[in-house]
Structure 1
Amino acid sequence: MKPWKRNLSNFLDLRSELKKTVHTEMILNRHNVRQSQRFNFTFTQEKITTHEFFYKLLHEYSPEQTEYKRCSIVGNGGILNGSKCGYEIDKADFVIRCNAPPIGRFKEDAGVKSNITTVNPSIIVNRYGRAKNKGQQSRLIKDMKEYNNYIWFPSFAAKWIYDLSIKLNKLLNKNLKSVTFVHGNPNHFREIKDYWSKKHMHKLLSTGFYITTASLLFCKEVHLYGFWPFASDLHNRSTPYHYFEDLKLSKASHAFDSEFDKLLSLHKDGVLQLHVDDC
């Protein structure tokens, strides 16, 4: 709870260290993908060669090719409830939201600005039934209208996820002008995973931790909100798993405790600021 102070030297040292392992970009675009390119899927042994139709879905520009002064990375932790952090989140030059949270009715606590919003395949499966029918597709389109700029999807996690990504890309292109669907680069995820594996973090990285690491390469100042893996806050108030629904913490495939320890260490070192109280 000591006042946070940025340490530029520590920040630049970490960025330099990251760049020794991470040589690719977070988002696939027409400059870093060939028309016929072979990719390994992240979580299966399968491989795929992309063809011209996929290349045409890609965009010329990726937002992380610009360096931003201040970035807000917004997790979904219940710690945001009543925090009144919305204004502080939105004043950043670039805002990344993790896993398609509802934001409109939580503006005061979570803000509304979105430059990149990540969407996990499990959300499309559990919330929208893989968008198989018109009703599910309409609900998906309606919910995606909350966001602006880019919708990021881990398209090369597995073959079925790649197939789903093509469907989603075409669906959103046809029905929404406010967002651009972009495909995550599996090589970029793999490089960041390799970096943290060298630091003895071997479990599957959560989206929030992965995106936070990536942001250190294109944001001069990184601020985290809604990252809190505990059932109560600093004032011993009960905290739900998500700020927008009454869920309790559950076992997960991610090492949230280890990730939080690392984020706390980076906070103490002045590399990023972890906001864990009311604003």
Structure 2
Amino acid sequence: MLSFCSIRLRTFYLAIIASASVLVWVTSRQHAPKLLYPWEAQKADEVVIERWRIGSREETVSHNDTVQKELMRLQKLVMTMKESMGNQTRPTEEHREHQKCSKTLSSLIKYSKWFRERYRPDVKLFLDEDDTRHYDNLSSNTLPFGFKGQNKTVLNQMLLHENFTNPSIHKKKAGSKTGCVRCAVVGCGGILNGSGAGDEIDSHDYVFRVNRALTKGRFANDVGKRTTFYTFFPESQNIQDVEDKNVLLFFTMFKKYDVEYGLNMIKDVPPPPYISRGKEHLIRKPASDPRRLKIVHPDFFKYVFHTYLDDKSARPTTGALVVGLALHICDEVTIYGFGYDPRFTMHYYDTKFVTHTQASTGSHDVDNERMLWMKLHDEGAIRLFKRDV
């Protein structure tokens, strides 16, 4: 009888621990990404399994008391988890200011030789009025790495226009960063289709998006709804898809037309016609406030392309630029929808499966960028979102 009861208690005990283990895993998925690393999740499971091993055949008599105490402890743990899961809200600005990062990107240079040799905290991210006085420094390279051959007057009109207010990245303390800033960079990769990562993405302090940033309706569950920063160039501009109205816009200029487009955008007038291969194309006017605009600096293009991509291909992708910006704006970075995984369709919003060989990657070296994401992940500079199913 004692043996039968003991077996039943052990079975019940195992079920409780299994439930608690599942709740630990689920909670870690819904919180900020700290416990999402595979090795940390495995370690948590090993701890729970080890607790089961505390009993032995020689401790049958005292085992019942141990089980009861452990069950009470696990019941309290489960209740705590339920309360936590019922209050999944994004940290307030005041709460974030008092948060501390266990390891920041700026401190990573102490531990990673590879990252230390590449990371330049003083690189200029965006153009500003001061650049009108240093045009010569910008004219040694052609776009997107400089303004060689471009009209200096047009650049001055852009950066000195009353609509170009060049707003601060960070809201408080005159644009300075406070607390621990955790960021999600969301690409368009098909790996996000069916991922259910939306709440996790929205839990970050800042959310970066690029190009086609569909977040409405059925997409929200996989990619979230929030957008803090939206990066684009004229042909990729889909600002109408962005739900947040106070989003900051990061404009990238790859060619001469982009400069003309940028000037008209700042003036808040329709863009000029775009002529390509003898055909005229009408590019739509962005539905945005020009006072929310920032322009990515040519020196930053050059920095990302030379330092991280080893000058391979013709230029970096918009996604590579945005990840680079996040490395300089944030303390912790997780990137979603990057890597061109052939098991998934090209984009998360595709209505039918699109293979990567069908999609034109133009002047980009996507294999080189995929290796960069893995290297940054391995060095601890970012966390790369992955899934097996």
Q: TM-score range by the shorter chain?
A: 0.7 to 0.9
1:73-99: per-residue Cα shift (whole Å, max 9, x none)? 100001111111111111111111011
Q: More helix by proportion, 1 or 2? A: 2
State the aligned residue count.
254
Q: Equivalents in 1 of 2:243, 2:39: separation in Å?
A: 37
Q: Equivalents in 1 of 2:386, 2:258: separation in Å?
A: 34
Match of 1:170 in 2: 267
Q: Is the contact made by 1:11 and 1:271 (CA closer than 8 Å) also made in structure 2?
A: no
TM-score (norm 1): 0.76
TM-score (norm 2): 0.56
Other structure's SS at 1:113 match: coil
Q: Between Structure 1 and Structure 2, whose CA radius of gyration is higher?
A: 2
2:43 pairs with 1:3: no
Q: Equivalents in 1 of 2:345, 2:286: separation in Å?
A: 36
Unaligned runs of 5+ in 1: 125-139, 233-238
Other structure's SS at 1:107 match: helix
2:355 pairs with 1:248: yes
Other structure's SS at 1:101 match: coil
1:109-161: per-residue Cα shift (whole Å, max 9, x none)? 1111111111123325xxxxxxxxxxxxxxx6744565532121113x22211
Q: CA deviation at 1:70?
A: 0.6
Structural mapping, 1:7-22, within 5 Å: 10=108, 13=112, 16-20=116-120
Unaligned runs of 5+ in 2: 1-36, 42-101, 270-284
2:295 pairs with 1:183: yes
Q: Which amino acid in the other structure matches residue 48 of structure 1? A: N
Q: Which residue, 117, 127, 134 being the options, matches 1:28?
A: 127
Q: Is the contact made by 2:213 and 2:242 (CA closer than 8 Å) also made in structure 1?
A: no
Q: More strand by proportion, 1 or 2? A: 1
1:13-49: per-residue Cα shift (whole Å, max 9, x none)? 46643344x743222234x433684544425852331
2:150 pairs with 1:47: yes
Q: Equivalents in 2 of 1:178, 1:200: separation in Å?
A: 32
Match of 1:225 in 2: 336
Other structure's SS at 1:193 match: helix
Q: CA deviation at 1:256?
A: 1.3
Structural mapping, 1:18-97, within 5 Å: 18-20=118-120, 23-30=122-129, 32-34=130-132, 37=135, 39-40=138-139, 41-43=142-144, 45-49=148-152, 50-52=155-157, 54-56=159-161, 57-63=163-169, 66-67=176-177, 69-97=181-209
Larger RCO (CA under 8 A, 6+ residues apart)? 1
